[in-house]
Amino acid sequence: MFQIDGPGAVSVPPTPAADGTPGYFSDGTPGAADATVVSADWLNAIQRELIAFLTAAGVATDKQNQAQVLYAARRLLGKNMQVFTASGTFTPPAGVSRVRVRCWGAGGGGGMAIGAWQAGGAGGGGGYGEGFFDVTPGTGVAVTIGAGGTGGVTGSTFGQTGGVTSFGSLASVTGAIGGGANVNLGGDGGLIYGFPFQVVGQKGSTGRAFTNVMSAIGGASFGGAGGVQGVGDIGRSGMFPGGGGSGGATDSSGLTSTGVAAIGGAGAGGCIVVEW
């Protein structure tokens, strides 16, 4: 893109003519109607529109580059980003009235295994939502980030559900459900409200008791893997963001192969990314 610089170009923009009747270009009809005159007003308007677009994206005009509008469009979309891994407030800057929000719900914790040859259910993976939302410049939006569910422990053997993650009242994703204790069901993924694009978190797998019992795998989120599976092992934490914790698994001793209680793994926390 470049600003006209050839013969006849002037340094001061001409005053536009008075508004006419909006219409369309025409090749005219020989002997009957003239073809449309491509006026300096119209060309200057197009030129200014394009340069304004490039300027907003911080792109200097380059006569040799014919892909600058495309480049500017890509720069303007997602030019700024704010990542929330803890609760806070998003305040839209001046001039920003629409934002893109991506949200990962928290994962559920894995269940504990009690007694010999047992396996706790795994926590579900957090749900994912994405969408564009209208906001008011200068008016804060409360951002809530859910913590991952804790794994089941002695006295509280079920894996806990992750906390809710929310972008104000515009959209929310609940935490995934924790896994049950002992050969029990894995937790479901979180529920998603308000986001036009939704990916449900994976359900945690169910604990199964056999010799050399394998622990239940945590549910994966859209981006965070579930806690890994082990033999006679404690449950492992889900990966950030939103992975579910795996369940604990015991051997014949009623403990893990290293002699500790087969507690469940923790779910990973949620996250929100705002772009404008």
Is residue 153 at the binding interface for other proteins, with CB under 8 A as the rule?
no
Q: Which is nearer to other proteins, 129 or 230 (CB)?
A: 129
Angstrom distance (rounded) from CA 85 to CA 101:
14
Q: Which residue in the set 68, 166, 206, 229 belongs to the binding site for other proteins (CB under 8 A)?
A: 166
Q: Which residue in the set 125, 126, 146, 247 belongs to the binding site for other proteins (CB under 8 A)?
A: 146
Angstrom distance (rounded) from CA 1 to CA 18:
28
Q: Which residue in the set 39, 55, 65, 253 belongs to the binding site for other proteins (CB under 8 A)?
A: 253
Q: Which is nearer to other proteins, 43 or 142 (CB)?
A: 142
Give the helix/strand (H/E) hosting 42. Answer: helix 40-56
Task: Match 């600058």 to its residue by tokens.
Answer: 68
Cis omega (within 30 of 0) for bond into 13: no
Q: Minimum distance between the CB of residue 239 and other proteins, rounded to whole angstroms?
A: 21
Is residue 163 at the binding interface for other proteins, with CB under 8 A as the rule?
yes
Strands 192-193 and 81-84, sheet pairing: unpaired
Is residue 180 at the binding interface for other proteins, with CB under 8 A as the rule?
yes
Question: Pattern 88-127, binding to other proteins, x per CB under 8 A?
Answer: --------------------------xxxxx---------
Residue among 126, 181, 115, 128 at smallest CA distance from 149: 126
Angstrom distance (rounded) from CA 139 to CA 273:
18
Side chain identity, residue 146: G
CA distances from 180 to 78, 150, 174 (A): 41, 12, 18
Q: Minimum distance between the CB of residue 174 and other proteins, rounded to whole angstroms?
A: 6
- For binding to other proteins (CB under 8 A), which residues are involved? 114-118, 142, 144, 146, 149, 156-158, 160-161, 163-164, 166, 168-172, 174-175, 177-178, 180-182, 184, 191, 193-194, 210-211, 252-255
